[in-house]
Amino acid sequence: MAYSFSVTLTTAPKQKPDPDKLVFGKYFTDHMFVMDYSDDKGWHDGRIVPYGPLAIDPAAAALHYGQEIFEGLKAYKAPDGRILLFRPDMNAKRTISTCDRLCIPPIDEELFIEAIKAVVRVDAEWIPDRPGTSLYIRPFIFADEPFLGVHPAHHFKFVIILSPVGAYYGAGNSGLVPQRIFVEEEYVRAAPGGTGAAKVAGNYAGSLKAQEKAMKAGCAQVLWLDAVERRYVEEIGTSNAFFVIGDEIITAPLLGTILPGVTRDSVIKLLKKWGMNIQERRLSIDEVVRAAEDGTLREAFATGTAAVISPVGELLYRNRTIVINNNQTGPLSQKLYDTLYGIQTGKVEDDMGWTVAI
Ligand SMILES: Cc1ncc(COP(=O)(O)O)c(C=O)c1O
């Protein structure tokens, strides 16, 4: 099905930020995509309008009961001028499963991708091209039906906003600065049967307390342990986690408590292609500590859209610092970053068929 959206251009274009001073998530482009859902019309009236505040009824269900979900992906400007999206079908599929978890009517995969393409096209001049920069795309859906009472809403808004961004951790051109990570044993992110595998706004609100604690301890992020035994490593902040122990590369399996990251899936596919020993299996924090002690813990890194690959330089666990690879970026983290970021930006040949030109 071909989708078409009305376009109302801004009469007051904003000044674009200095491309050398971009940070993550602070600046927004001139336009946004908005679409409504009602039970009688389904998803309808997709439109591109000037970026600005949305009028929301104070009784809107999302504001009270958190029926809100979001996604995150990036557009890059390739050296030949093409605008590239990275595996947007994966974000579309994850949106569908997240919607299902929160009783939100799903957005058709093609509609999701066409809406992104349409709004990125309108604001294409906002895509930065300095190394490490990109246009971050934030689709989100929330219940804007005014009612008080806990039941699935009947009216929703699907919105896409765009933000030119620099490196997530304020890193330099290579994008790789090893981070110090807090191993969290008190708070949990997601329990079996909960919403951990869905990109639900409430997951992030619930994580703030631990994040605050980690930052007070001089750490950039939290390493989450499983909610039942507080033993198995799950995710790092808003990224998936990988550990290199001996010749094995280990990441947590998708058992419903971690987010199935697009970057995680891409890393697994690259590692398999390179013939490496990648295992999706449970890994206890004790095994990580033992590996650090016997010298077999070679690298650890986080994977996600925001930072791509982010090496772990230190783990803070029970007041003890575990240093990984001398707090340096390891060869595998660097190779994965160079390959993935290279494919995403059109500088490395995309033999995986992952990029989609707009
Ligand atoms: C909790 C969580 N885990 C992992 C990820 C990484 O997912 P992706 O690689 O799709 O960005 C994200 C970011 O979306 C996240 O919020």
Per the structure block, which two tokens stand in for 102? Answer: 């929160």
Residues 131 and 247 in one domain: no
Please tell me the total count of domains within the chain: 2
pLDDT of res. 143: 98
Residues 191 and 69 occupy one common structural domain:
no
Domain boundary among 110, 131, 165: 165
Distance CA 57, CA 63 (A): 9
Measuring from atom 5 of ligand 1, which residue has the nearest CA? 239
Where are the extended beta strands (E) located within the chain? 6-7, 31-38, 42-50, 68-70, 73-77, 83-86, 134-143, 155-165, 179-184, 221-225, 233-236, 239-245, 248-251, 277-280, 297-304, 308-317, 320-323, 355-357
Is residue 158 domain-shared with residue 185, that is, in the same domain?
no
The number of the ligand 1 atom at minimal distance from the alpha carbon of 263 is 9
239 lines ligand 1 (CB under 6 A): yes
d(CA 219, CA 302): 14
Considering the domain boundaries, does residue 352 fall inside one?
Answer: no
229 with 285, same domain: the answer is: yes
Domain assignment present for residue 351? The answer is no
Question: Residue 235 CA: which ligand 1 atom is closest?
Answer: 3
Report the pLDDT averaged over residues 54-75.
97
Residue 357 lies in a domain: no
If we measure between CA atoms, which residue out of 198, 3, 6 comes closest to residue 109?
3
Are residues 213 and 153 part of one domain?
A: no
**Residues 72 and 221 grouped into a single domain:** no
Contact 227, 269 (CB under 8 A): no
Cβ of 211 closer than 6 Å to ligand 1, yes or no, is: no
If you measure from the C-alpha of residue 39 to the centroid of ligand 1, how many angstroms do you get, rounded to a whole number? Answer: 31
261 lines ligand 1 (CB under 6 A): yes
* pLDDT tens digits, 197-225: 999 999 999 999 999 999 999 999 999 99
pLDDT at 63: 97
240 Cβ below 6 A of ligand 1: yes
Domain span at residue 50 reads 6-165
Q: Is 307 in the pocket of ligand 1 (CB under 6 A)?
A: no
pLDDT at 111 over 70: yes
With bands split at pLDDT 50, 70 and 90, how would you rate the model's confidence at 169?
A: low
pLDDT of residue 174: 52
Q: What is the pLDDT of residue 170?
A: 52
Question: If we measure between CA atoms, which residue out of 307, 349, 358 comes closest to residue 329?
Answer: 307
179 CB within 6 A, ligand 1: no
Distance 265 CA to ligand 1 centre (A): 11
Residue in 192, 201, 4, 6 with CA at minimum distance from that of residue 104: 201
Do 226 and 279 belong together in one domain? yes
Residue 238 CA, ligand 1 centroid: distance in Å = 5
CATH number at residue 259: 3.20.10.10
Q: Give the β-pairing of 6-7 and 42-50.
A: parallel
End-to-end CA distance of the chain: 18
Res. 131 pLDDT band, cuts 50 70 90: confident
